[in-house]
Chain A
């Protein structure tokens, strides 16, 4: 079978899964829906592997294969086709997406047990995977935008999955609106590029750029790339379009794990990597990306230090790590950024899964303030947290260490003002270690809390009255709310299997790209990035080793500091908070971004909308145009109606007057 056929099959199976689960959700039993959903993605993964092997069968120059299913609208200026591009980059993304998705589907089979919307959940999740695959496989801007929009919709559907929760629906809307801002940027950017390249096709566009289509229109290219960056930032939750990601934690934990850690938020990284010829021709845009990524990783790291909701800590951690990736691809280190994408998918998904397990043990509560001492009660979950935490902090030989250090080494190697980014990156690494282990120490060390003690005795805690963990609102367990059952990893085999596989990945995945030893990823991705200026930039050995040492030291220091504050001296957290009160206030209020956006954007728009409705629409459109027309008609008919009085003498008078008028006319005409 040809490579592109494998790729089409990869797209087909999740779509079938969506349709079967979506259309048959009333009739499918719980087991069937979960099995269909997982099997669909599993098959997609198998086909992705098929595509991989088939692709490697081609020689290096011919590994960009385009297959078009249907010409949607092909005119002189625009060629909109349903086409996919199969090359090392898309196969790489396909493998990551389908691989991690299969494990998350497996995890969800147990986690969502007892929820009334089980089949709907799997339909949505398959739809999301399908959309993400359309996004990464798309061979032209049209498919990219379609996939982009679909993942936004899937994200909305899944964030507000428990739709009877007000907090969830508000979060879904917030995510969707910010994503739409990004969509607008993406589409406008595409227009800017299309104007001078003359084709929507990726390969065609790249050839046009190389061929000098933008020679006199550099401004248009920069503008287009900046607008595309707006889209990337919105989807990848970078400053300032990041405010939706922490709120998106309202969705079920597997959703957070899949969409908001491993796949959807990495779409921005993929976008910049895919469009690297454009960005390399417009260095201003690429540098902007690098700077924004750097700023994000720092700010997100500081905020994560102060959050008490365990899922939000991991969410800000995601934001921070994506900042690393954006910084990398912005600076030209595409392979490094994509390598970190893969390792991050493993350990972040693992962390979210483990968080789901401990939330289940807490009967739905998510606050770190309430968790403590789960080490003895949940050894497996604890182990997963440790593995994930070590990988995230960048402790060798875990995967995160290699990928993060490769990014930072590349950025440092660029030299010039990139050294500032290099320094901030290491500060961020230190913060990462601190907040990660703060979370782990708080949840697993110390005196066991009530739920932990219950679990030690073998009894899973159960909430008397189901409440919304975010605002304490009382709810029930019917459709639209979480089900009555909570599962923990120790008791559910599918969850254990998924988490184990991810833990293995988080541990060993880094070994494929050890500096100076092997470079599997680089050689695999090289055909895609062969035209890049930076693909052969290798940091010097001294820089590499220095970076690795520095990274290890900072990570261990961070773990030690966290241990000191939250384990050894329990009261010192409060002391630190008091000492750095202004900083603490800033961090715990998330740098006031929500308030700023509300003040600068939401309120003016709402005021404008109100004005339009109250003044313009009501007075001008309704009042003058609509009501004016109707009142004119009504007045006219009232005037005419007045003639029909029913009085005989009025009719006679009208007759007479008419007759007199006619005679007058004839008199005048005759004279």
Chain B
């Protein structure tokens, strides 16, 4: 039974991965990744990591991917078709990837480690449960826990700094026009605009003159 689930989940994960790489539209790539994450959560469950599986779905697929979707929508994926370039690089990439996979497969399958061939250690009750994870986080792995929270703080600050609007970095050039920022001042009030001759005489006199002529 678990073998069937395993195969379904594995095929789902691999299909999602291939989808991320192969799909042209980034929006679809994000969706493929979401599918991949869900399959991975199933695999985690098979490996008795309940809490991690849940965290994967809620945090990763739920929050991070939604953030991704927001950004992809903002940027508008697929708006400009990128010309496929670098065929040479594809060859190198394909070669390197195949080589790496071959090596890793040989490492895993040919290692002769007996433990890998087994199904794992005997089941301990509470293995992978939130209680066990929480206890470990607060005792044995307290320091990494705290560092991770610091890291999250840094990332949050970084995101805010990167997203901040600054003068001159906005899209609208029209806003840079000085006249929109400076309210018009009257004559003889001592403005620089008057000093450089940018303020002309009021047009009221001309209109009155034209009217009075017969």
Contact call A663/B89, Cβ cutoff below 8 A:
no
Stretch at the interface among A112-120, A260-268, A287-295, A648-656: A648-656
B190 lies within 8 A of chain A by Cβ = no
A642 lies within 8 A of chain B by Cβ = no
B100 contacts which of A649, A650, A660, A671 (Cβ < 8 Å)?
Answer: A660
Interface residues in B80-118 by Cβ distance below 8 A to A read 86, 89, 92-93, 96-97, 99-100, 103-104, 106-107, 110-111
Q: How far is the CB of A648 from chain B (nearest CB, A)?
A: 11
A212 lies within 8 A of chain B by Cβ = no
A660 proximity list for chain B (CB < 8 A): 96, 99-100, 103
Q: How far is the CB of B84 from chain A (nearest CB, A)?
A: 13
| CA–CA, A206 and B125, complex, Å | 117
Q: How far is the CB of A642 from chain B (nearest CB, A)?
A: 14
Please encode chain A, from 617 to 651, with 1 for each CB lying within 8 Å of some chain B CB and 0 for all others: 00000000000000000000000000000000110
A666 proximity list for chain B (CB < 8 A): 107
Contact call A664/B103, Cβ cutoff below 8 A:
yes
Contact call B89/A650, Cβ cutoff below 8 A:
yes
A659 lies within 8 A of chain B by Cβ = yes
- Known contacts A656-B97, A660-B96; A649 and B103 CB within 8 A of each other: no
Contact call B100/A653, Cβ cutoff below 8 A:
no
Contact call B96/A656, Cβ cutoff below 8 A:
yes
Contact call A667/B97, Cβ cutoff below 8 A:
no
Contact call B103/A653, Cβ cutoff below 8 A:
no
Please encode chain B, from 62 to 73, with 1 for each CB lying within 8 Å of some chain A CB and 0 for all others: 000000000000
| CA–CA, A650 and B96, complex, Å | 12
Contact call A667/B103, Cβ cutoff below 8 A:
yes
A667 contacts which of B89, B92, B96, B107 (Cβ < 8 Å)?
Answer: B107
| CA–CA, A656 and B99, complex, Å | 10
A663 proximity list for chain B (CB < 8 A): 100, 103-104, 107
| CA–CA, A154 and B107, complex, Å | 88
Contact call A649/B86, Cβ cutoff below 8 A:
yes
B110 proximity list for chain A (CB < 8 A): 671
Contact call B89/A649, Cβ cutoff below 8 A:
yes
- Chain A interface, >50% SS class: helix
| CA–CA, A670 and B93, complex, Å | 26
Please encode chain A, from 285 to 322, with 1 for each CB lying within 8 Å of some chain B CB and 0 for all others: 00000000000000000000000000000000000000
Of listed A660, A666, A670, residue having the most chain B CB within 10 A: A660
Contact call B100/A656, Cβ cutoff below 8 A:
yes
A78 lies within 8 A of chain B by Cβ = no
B111 proximity list for chain A (CB < 8 A): 670
Q: How far is the CB of B4 from chain A (nearest CB, A)?
A: 32
Interface residues in B109-160 by Cβ distance below 8 A to A read 110-111
How many interface residues does chain B have, given as a range?
10 to 19
- CB-based nearest B residue for A663: B103
- CB-based nearest A residue for B107: A667
Of listed B86, B92, B96, residue having the most chain A CB within 10 A: B96
A657 lies within 8 A of chain B by Cβ = yes
* Total number of A residues with any Cβ neighbor in B under 8 Å: 13
Between A and B, how many residue pairs show CB distances below 8 Å?
30
| CA–CA, A670 and B113, complex, Å | 12
- CB-based nearest B residue for A657: B96
| CA–CA, A472 and B124, complex, Å | 119
| CA–CA, A650 and B99, complex, Å | 17
| CA–CA, A10 and B104, complex, Å | 98
Q: How far is the CB of A494 from chain B (nearest CB, A)?
A: 84
B89 proximity list for chain A (CB < 8 A): 649-650, 653
- CB-based nearest A residue for B92: A653
| CA–CA, A670 and B100, complex, Å | 16
B86 proximity list for chain A (CB < 8 A): 649
- CB-based nearest A residue for B93: A653
Q: How far is the CB of B155 from chain A (nearest CB, A)?
A: 21
| CA–CA, A666 and B111, complex, Å | 12
Q: How far is the CB of B88 from chain A (nearest CB, A)?
A: 10
Contact call A667/B106, Cβ cutoff below 8 A:
yes
A659 proximity list for chain B (CB < 8 A): 100
A664 proximity list for chain B (CB < 8 A): 99, 103
- CB-based nearest B residue for A661: B99
Please encode chain B, from 191 to 209, with 1 for each CB lying within 8 Å of some chain A CB and 0 for all others: 0000000000000000000
- CB-based nearest B residue for A664: B103
B99 proximity list for chain A (CB < 8 A): 660, 664
B97 proximity list for chain A (CB < 8 A): 656
B92 proximity list for chain A (CB < 8 A): 653, 657
A657 proximity list for chain B (CB < 8 A): 92, 96
| CA–CA, A649 and B97, complex, Å | 14
| CA–CA, A664 and B107, complex, Å | 9
Q: How far is the CB of B100 from chain A (nearest CB, A)?
A: 4
B106 proximity list for chain A (CB < 8 A): 667
| CA–CA, A653 and B99, complex, Å | 13
| CA–CA, A666 and B99, complex, Å | 14
B107 proximity list for chain A (CB < 8 A): 663, 666-667
| CA–CA, A666 and B96, complex, Å | 17
| CA–CA, A667 and B110, complex, Å | 10
| CA–CA, A656 and B101, complex, Å | 11
- CB-based nearest A residue for B97: A656
Q: How far is the CB of A363 from chain B (nearest CB, A)?
A: 77
A653 proximity list for chain B (CB < 8 A): 89, 92-93, 96
| CA–CA, A657 and B103, complex, Å | 12
Q: How far is the CB of A272 from chain B (nearest CB, A)?
A: 85
B100 proximity list for chain A (CB < 8 A): 656, 659-660, 663
Q: How far is the CB of A203 from chain B (nearest CB, A)?
A: 88
Q: How far is the CB of B115 from chain A (nearest CB, A)?
A: 16
- CB-based nearest B residue for A668: B103
Q: How far is the CB of A212 from chain B (nearest CB, A)?
A: 88
| CA–CA, A657 and B110, complex, Å | 22
| CA–CA, A667 and B103, complex, Å | 7
| CA–CA, A666 and B86, complex, Å | 31
A650 proximity list for chain B (CB < 8 A): 89
| CA–CA, A667 and B100, complex, Å | 11
- CB-based nearest B residue for A659: B100
Interface residues in B8-35 by Cβ distance below 8 A to A read none
Q: How far is the CB of A666 from chain B (nearest CB, A)?
A: 8
| CA–CA, A671 and B106, complex, Å | 11
| CA–CA, A53 and B138, complex, Å | 116
Of listed B86, B99, B103, B107, residue having the most chain A CB within 10 A: B103
A667 proximity list for chain B (CB < 8 A): 103, 106-107
| CA–CA, A326 and B14, complex, Å | 110
Q: How far is the CB of B154 from chain A (nearest CB, A)?
A: 23
Q: How far is the CB of A606 from chain B (nearest CB, A)?
A: 57
Q: How far is the CB of A657 from chain B (nearest CB, A)?
A: 5
A670 proximity list for chain B (CB < 8 A): 111
Task: Report which A residues bind B (CB closer than 8 A).
Answer: 649-650, 653, 656-657, 659-660, 663-664, 666-667, 670-671
30 A–B pairs (Cβ distance < 8 Å), ordered by A: A649-B86, A649-B89, A650-B89, A653-B89, A653-B92, A653-B93, A653-B96, A656-B93, A656-B96, A656-B97, A656-B100, A657-B92, A657-B96, A659-B100, A660-B96, A660-B99, A660-B100, A660-B103, A663-B100, A663-B103, A663-B104, A663-B107, A664-B99, A664-B103, A666-B107, A667-B103, A667-B106, A667-B107, A670-B111, A671-B110
Beyond the given A653-B96, A660-B96, please list 7 additional residue pairs across the A-B interface where CB-CB is below 8 A. Answer: A656-B96, A656-B100, A660-B103, A663-B107, A667-B103, A667-B106, A667-B107
The 6 closest A-B pairs by CB, nearest first: A660-B100, A663-B103, A656-B96, A660-B99, A657-B96, A653-B92
